[in-house]
Amino acid sequence: MAFHAVPFELYIEMLRHVGEKRSFRNNLRIAVLLCLNAGFINAAGFIAFKVLTTNVTGHAALLAVSVASSDFRIVQMAALWLLLFLLGALSTGMVISKVGREKSAAYYIPILVILCIALSVAVFGHNYSRSIGQTELFAGGLLFAMGMQNALVSVISGSIVRTTHLTGMFTDLGLDLSLLCAPGKTDQAAKKRVLLRLTIISFFLLGGIIGGVLFLRFSFHAFYIPVFILLTALFYDYFRMNIIRVIRHERGE
């Protein structure tokens, strides 16, 4: 029985299936990997640059307070953070619109861009001198990347999974838990949603802990971990399906 490699275009299921075509497992896998990545970058980026790279709500509050206190240098920086996150999301949307939702390239192009930004921080971060310009360059790049990632996952999952902030997740978790607490009613869909919400929250926090520990130990070299996570997200289904084919081949199936 001849063994044939599985084409990448056919087996990038975790990224390719969109909206109603996605299974619960698809959403769970992408939540595990990309929430881990977002939590890692948020914590490591905060230690490195003193900027939260996934917290748009916080930057909006900072912008408002800075306007009220007439601190226009901070106003400028906070506005830049908001704009870069927005541009990241816009870029993902434009790529998906241009390439087409049914094409795998629409999803792995944004991941490759995010990967390159994380790799740039890992390689060039040791040159960071805490100047305003370099802070805007490095932290701004991560904000752009997280805007891309959040938009990507939102499109893929039909807005079910959000990887870069927890406010909405805690709200949705509370609502789903209220359904499960209703007497005399078993809501299987709500159980799955609770599991997904808890996975998102847990892996974002886990990523943050890992990111903080590794950055304090290895400095900017810790950003090679997000590169590895993104490569795993990109090739997970491809390698998984080829491994299954190899096992079946060896068994003579």
The pLDDT mean for the chain works out to 84
The pLDDT of residue 24 is 75
Q: Would residue 97 count as lying in a domain? A: yes
- Please give the pLDDT value at position 3: 43
Q: Is residue 94 part of a domain?
A: yes
In this prediction, residue 2 carries a pLDDT of 45
Show Cβ contacts of residue 109 under 8 Å, excluding neighbours closer than 6 positions: 95, 99
Domain with residue 93: its CATH number is: 1.20.1250
How many domains does the chain divide into?
1
Gyration radius of the chain's alpha carbons:
20
Tell me if 5 is assigned to some domain. no
Is 181 among the domain residues? yes
Expressed as residue numbers, the domain containing 227 is 24-238
Of all residues in the chain, the percent with pLDDT exceeding 90 is 47
CB 42 within 8 A of CB 53: yes
Residue with structure tokens 């068994």?
251
Summarised one tens digit per residue, pLDDT across range 144-203 is 999 999 998 888 877 777 777 788 888 888 988 988 887 776 778 888 889 989 998 999
- For 241, phi and psi rounded to 5 degrees? -70, -35
**Tally of CA atoms within 13 A in the half-sphere of 25 that contains its CB:** 2
Distances (CA, A) of 196 to 17, 47, 190, 199: 17, 28, 10, 5
Highest mean pLDDT among 6-10, 79-83, 150-154: 79-83
225-252, pLDDT tens digit by residue?
Answer: 999 999 988 887 666 656 656 666 666 6
Residue 15 lies in a domain: no
Instruction: Using the predicted structure, report yes or no on whether residue 4 has a pLDDT greater than 60.
Output: no
- Residue 247 is predicted with a pLDDT of 65
What is the average pLDDT across 213-231?
95
Q: What is the dihedral of CA 119, 123, 125, 126, to 10 degrees?
A: 160
Instruction: Note whether residue 34 is domain-resident.
Output: yes
> Looking at the domain assignment, is residue 8 inside a domain?
no
134: Cα separation from own chain's centroid: 23
DSSP-assigned letters across all residues of 35-94: HHHHHHHHHHHHHHHS--SS-HHHHHHHHHHHHHTT-HHHHHHHHHHHHHHHHHHHHHHH
Q: Give the pLDDT score at 28.
A: 83
- Cα separation, 57 vs 81, whole angstroms: 11
Is 110 contained in some domain?
Answer: yes
